[in-house]
Structure 1
Amino acid sequence: MKLKEKITLEEIEGKYFNVRLVESENNGKAALTHYLHNNTNGVSGYYKKGAINHLKNVLQYKYPDNNITQELAEEALQYLLFDYKDEVPFQVSKEPKFKFIDLFAGIGGFRIAMQNLGGKCVFTSEWDEQAKKTYKANFGEVPFGDITKPETKSFIPDNFDVLCAGFPCQAFSIAGRRGGFEDTRGTLFFDVAEIIKNKRPKAIFLENVKGLRSHDKGKTLATILNVLREDLGYYVPEPQIINARDFGVPQNRERIFIVGFRGDLEINKFEYPKPLNKVVTFEDIKEENAVSVKYYLSNTYLNTLINHKKRHESKGNGFGYEVIPDDGIANAVVCGGMGRERNLVYDDRLEDFTPVTHIKGEVNRQGIRKMTPREWARLQGFPDDFIIPVADASAYKQFGNSVAVPAIKATAENIIEKIV
């Protein structure tokens, strides 16, 4: 059998894109998009088999009465490669200076920062399906899935320069033991450490919540540093708490950054970036035009927040909603309702107060609204051409989980100058 007509990437990404790969529901799509995006840099070989297998299933779905061979799938892959155009918002430099991988990638905050410095992403993984949708819309690649699975790890190429990971924080069971590599098993950090051990990148760049420093009375961070320094042989300077506010975005967001360099590079000094001393306020990222009434609070909801705050204040607690003035700095954007309720704003430009969603009571006349997803994107340093293809609820979650791009870029710049 010969292909009757070329199968196009538009078809693959349209009605055939959700055809399941026998070995893995997710990794076939990831292998195909990674193959296409890495066809000129010597990395595509790591993805070719998975890409062909995925296309074989797609063709079998399209031509159910035919026996689709490996050769036909390869032919289809070559057609795709010939017609492929890298038309995505965030393009890679034609002559990248270094290669990196993006673990726990979210929606690509690390990737934007690293690409802006001349980097080429050669592997990415993220398990959340809605985040994958956003990542694909902006970078043209579907992230691989669960990084704890050996099959997913098997796609990671050799010889990349930097490992980036905003890994979740977990406690280790280290009672009475050394707190080394083996003691981290069962945690997501173990998977990061295992990849570092097997691939030996020149540098590592890890990001986590500020609380990692005191997590489990400091034992968690101590174990991480011991593994990186003693077990894996990386030079790791003392981690630093970096505030996004110091790097050009009006958000008070503190995160711990951990940087490391492979021992044989003989790098024994590293300085984290200094604050820019640039004053930026919410007004600088506020929507230029009036926003939909759906972002405005109802009187009922607003009164609930007011009463909730009063109850806490009577007990001496500082919990509750907060309205950020135009000349103010936002609180950290985080997942959950409090991330939005502690970042309400005044906006008196609304003229039509007719609700467009099912709310209790009338829309408040004080001009109090939630920030929009685009304002959250700006608080995290994402450019305005970053596509938000998901519903608001998912968008808030994704930006709340993301890294602050300018802080990542400023730190990465100091890393790259050491290894390039």
Structure 2
Amino acid sequence: MIFRMGEFFNGPGGLAYGAKMAAITDRSGEEYKVEHVWANDIDESACATYKHNILKNHQEAIVYNQPVQELNIHELADIDAFSFGFPCNDYSIVGEQRGMTGDYGPLYTYGVKVINYHNPKFFIAENVGGLQSANEGKAFINILRDLASAGRGYNLTPHLYKFEEYGVPQARHRIIIVGIRKDLGLDFKIPVPTHSGNFVTAREAIENPPIPDDAFNHEFTKHSDKVIQMLNHIPPGENAWYEGVPEHLRLKVKGAKLSQIYKRLHPNKPSYTVTGSGGGGTHVYHWAEPRALTNRERARLQTFPDTFEFLGKKEKVRQQIGMAVPPQGSKVIFEAIFKTFAGMEYDALEQSDWWKGLGIDFETETQLSLKV
């Protein structure tokens, strides 16, 4: 069974690469996998990276490099599967959390339009954990309601995935909503974490195996003498606000002090969250060397293989890596979806503990049948 897949907000292809790795074969020898048909993103560099890595063997597939608002959804090729990591800018707890009132918050509705028109067998929607609290939780409820009632109707299984529990060497938490068309009568379950208490560390990800000096996207950042001196006073796992930093090297910052500013990795723990935006101090810093990680090292923390080549200028590459879904996390979810369609058993959670304590009665508030 080959699922013809379309994608919005494709970025460099984290979701898509994970989907490609997730192909399975059932007992009768039938293969379940995706074939990428079309994708869309507003960022030119991300589209180039996606074409280069995801579609290089699919000459007929198309990447539309334009605002999603300008696409004619009726002219897009037929699909069986759909994925969209709709922009998180207005839902991230790092930002203002404007939610539906922001410029990016309503963009998920274009994904709903695709589902309405194409009625794919399944879809995956992805966003940051802050989605649950934007607009006092109302944004999340609206999104769930719209997705469940789209097209012929979908059974939803939303969950806050902590990707470090699935082999990603990074504390990266993302809400993933899996929707399977109701008329198919299939029951998707959340796959059991594979690495609980046995996390892959930053050191393992970056040093095993060593990155060749001539690896793609492995350019080093030039730092000022002051930054190098400051980093030399910050122990692994600590940040710019560490009290051992001499006064003359301290940052002069008023107001909120973000914990990841000039934060050095702890070699024996997963990395903190890799981000794609922000200036100096947000690039993720080596535990032993007084420097920022290279883009190749950052890509390893995101579980992109060294053969995955990001295109564009250095800062554009940094942005692509930081905004992507870790392919290893995507692979786990797509494998579970394929096994659901194949009727194959897999280790799954009986329910999502994430819902406990949120104080929202989703059955009542949304009038939906959600897997909780």
The verdict on a shared fold, with TM-score over 0.5 as the criterion, is: yes
Q: Which moved more, 1:146-155 or 1:252-261?
A: 146-155
Indicate the structure with greater helix content: 1
CA distance in 2, matches of 1:163, 1:337: 30
| CA deviation after TM superposition for structure 1 residue 383, in Å | 1.3
Structure 2 counterpart SS, 1:212: helix
Question: Is residue 287 of structure 2 the alignment partner of residue 346 of structure 1?
Answer: yes
Gap change, CA 1:340 and 1:115, over 3 Å in 2? farther
| CA deviation after TM superposition for structure 1 residue 149, in Å | 3.8
- Counterpart in 2 of 1:274? 192
Gap change, CA 1:314 and 1:201, over 3 Å in 2? closer
Higher-Rg structure is 1
- 1:220-255 alpha-carbon deviations (Å, 9 max, x no partner): 110011112245421113x11112211212111101
Contact 1:207 1:257 in 2 (8 A): yes
Contact 1:165 1:206 in 2 (8 A): yes
Question: Is residue 220 of structure 2 the alignment partner of residue 298 of structure 1?
Answer: no
Query: Which residues of 2 match residues 331-370 of structure 1 at below 5 A?
Result: 331-337=272-278, 341=282, 343-347=284-288, 367-370=289-292
5+ unaligned residues in a row in structure 1: which ranges? 1-95, 174-183, 348-366
- Counterpart in 1 of 2:14? 109
Question: Is residue 324 of structure 2 the alignment partner of residue 324 of structure 1?
Answer: no
Normalization by structure 1: what TM-score? 0.63
| CA deviation after TM superposition for structure 1 residue 215, in Å | 0.8
- Counterpart in 2 of 1:97? 2
Supply the AA of the counterpart residue of 1:374: R
5+ unaligned residues in a row in structure 2: which ranges? 24-32, 91-98, 242-249, 343-372
Structure 2 counterpart SS, 1:125: strand
Question: Is residue 198 of structure 2 the alignment partner of residue 283 of structure 1?
Answer: no
Contact 2:265 2:287 in 1 (8 A): yes
Match of 2:179 among 235, 260, 274: 260
Contact 1:242 1:255 in 2 (8 A): yes
Question: Is residue 312 of structure 2 the alignment partner of residue 390 of structure 1?
Answer: yes
Gap change, CA 1:290 and 1:104, over 3 Å in 2? closer
Supply the AA of the counterpart residue of 1:104: F
Contact 1:229 1:236 in 2 (8 A): yes
Question: Is residue 73 of structure 2 the alignment partner of residue 132 of structure 1?
Answer: no
- Counterpart in 1 of 2:110? 191
Match of 2:38 among 117, 123, 126: 123
The RMSD of aligned alpha carbons is 3.1
Supply the AA of the counterpart residue of 1:130: S
The alignment-based identity, stated in percent, is 28
Query: Which residues of 2 match residues 232-243 of structure 1 at below 5 A?
Result: 232=151, 233-237=153-157, 239-243=158-162
- Counterpart in 1 of 2:368? none
Normalization by structure 2: what TM-score? 0.70
Contact 1:144 1:152 in 2 (8 A): no
